[in-house]
Structure 1
């Protein structure tokens, strides 16, 4: 039981940039259960912010016609749902997304998000070319929304695993959502032999593995996280400018 005098300030947790997998899950539960965010609402907020991060790293006026083409690779778990929303917003922002979604989830949210993308005439690839140069020539950049924290490649099926093997070989810029697919969310293991994204978009707050990220841009997409929740998890993150929903780390 807590004492009437309240917690000892000397025992307050030290502020930090990164969350463990357990802490990230607890933060999400707090948003869903205590603050009554809906799952679709969180996916929408994260997907929109991910698209905004892409526009900041690769601003449209600086891109050639070919560079505006974006391949969004989605898995069947929550990160894939965020990728579908990201693709839709990129289309709204006048980029030219194409989606590769080889292992489709039967979850109603995934199905609804897929329908939205189809209704907006975003093309879906039926297969990912194994010839890496074809992808390099067809697209300006790739968004990795295949695996999220705690999801192993073997859990999402062969097509996703093969897609990740192809993504490792690309020479065009790669943007990973939340964590680079295949990395251990805690230790960042496989950061040397796995995907090496140019841009990382941490959703809500960076996970511990982000400490090993060495790409060009790291954004946090967590403006929607209430101040009380940030304080509870002792998050020390950069401030958001104006109406921005992402901040550079």
Structure 2
């Protein structure tokens, strides 16, 4: 199926509506939990444990990184061996609680010195660095990290948008990320305009939109199969605002 893309401005507004007590009634940690669950289900669909249990989740400092932390927890329960690279860690209580949950499951946090060896030994990479709010430019340590992901020899799934991509205009013209085309992408809540530049297998996650909020932003709520939190989208029909 296809779905209309939503601009970064409208995505921000939609998130506020979801967390408005009188409109959506959701809390940030509820939305992050469902987003991370969606990410984990997309990974299971394209890379089941039989294809390789070692998964490296690379997290940024914001909510996109939080989605990756939640996904890693679910992957651990599914039987994977996730590890986390989290070079600039979020400081608020929510991220600290997610870290505690992972530590309690013996999920390792990779130090900087072990990042390159971890890239070479993993069977799958999750790019959970930047989401729809990314506006550039890249700042260290992320240029070198994205360059490493870009040239990795294993499949990559990006969360919400390929990191380094402009949400409206797609990959940068040059530098880190200019040739970054992950094999898999999961958009959260709704696709972002940059998907018109994407070529790969594309999923939508976030099974929480109500009819009223969807209509406000001109979105179609997809039919999720069964108990799945993800649905595959038709990449050729998207990107039209």
Fold match, TM over 0.5? Answer: yes
Partner residue in 2 for 1:93: 78
**Cα pair 2:40 2:71 within 8 Å, conserved:** yes
Gaps of 5+ in 2: 234-241
CA offset at residue 236 of structure 1? 3.1
- The CA distance in 2 between the partners of 1:237 and 1:42, in whole Å, is 16
The counterpart of 1:127, out of the listed 112, 133, 141, is: 112
Q: Are residue 235 (structure 1) and residue 219 (structure 2) matched?
A: yes
When Rg is computed on C-alpha atoms for both structures, the one with the higher figure is 1
What is the CA-CA distance between 1:57 and the residue it aligns to?
1.1
Higher RCO (C-alpha 8 Å, min separation 6): 2
Q: Check if 1:30 corresponds to 2:34.
A: no
Aligned-partner Cα distance in 1 for 2:96–2:216: 35
Give aligned pairs, total: 227
- Residue of structure 2 equivalent to 1:17: 4
Task: Tell me which of 127, 144, 147 is aligned to 1:162.
Answer: 144
In 1, are the aligned partners of 2:18 and 2:25 still within 8 Å (CA)?
yes
Q: Which residue of 2 aligns with 1:185?
A: 167
CA–CA distance in structure 2, aligned partners of residues 89 and 226 of structure 1: 25
TM superposition shift of 1:238 = 3.7
- Distance in 1 of aligned mates of 2:62 and 2:183: 23
Q: Deviations over 1:167-217 (max 9, x none)?
A: 1110100000000001011111328714211000101111111121101x1
Q: TM-score, normalised on structure 2?
A: 0.87
**Mean Cα displacement is larger for which, 223-232 or 200-209?**
223-232
Secondary structure of the corresponding residue to residue 229 of structure 2: coil
Could you tell me which runs of 5 or more consecutive residues in structure 1 were left unpaired when the two chains were aligned: 1-14
Give the TM-score of the pair, scaled to structure 1.
0.85
- For 2:118 and 2:223, how far apart are their aligned partners in 1? 36
Equivalent position to 2:123, from 140, 150, 159: 140
One of 26, 40, 46 as aligned partner of 1:57: 46
Match of 1:11 in 2: none
Q: Aligned pair in 2 of structure 1 residues 226, 239: CA closer, same or farther (>3 Å)?
A: same
Q: Secondary structure at the match of 2:112?
A: coil
Q: CA deviation at 1:230?
A: 1.6
Deviations 1:222-244 (A, max 9, x none): 21111221222111354211111
Conserved? CA contact 1:130–1:166, under 8 Å: no
Structure 1 outlier segments of 4+, above 3 Å:
128-131, 134-137, 152-155
Identify the range of structure 1 (120-129 vs 229-238) with the bigger mean alpha-carbon deviation.
229-238
Cα distance 1:206–1:85, how it changes in 2: closer, same or farther (>3 A)? same
CA distance, structure 2, for counterparts of residue 128 and residue 247 of structure 1: 37
- Tell me, yes or no, if structure 1 residue 46 matches structure 2 residue 32: no
C-alpha distance in structure 1 between counterparts of 2:72 and 2:142, whole Å: 18
Give a deviation string over 1:119-165, Cα, whole Å, max 9, x none: 1100110016575xx4454111100011112324556x522332112
Q: 1:79–1:145: 8 Å Cα contact kept in structure 2?
A: yes
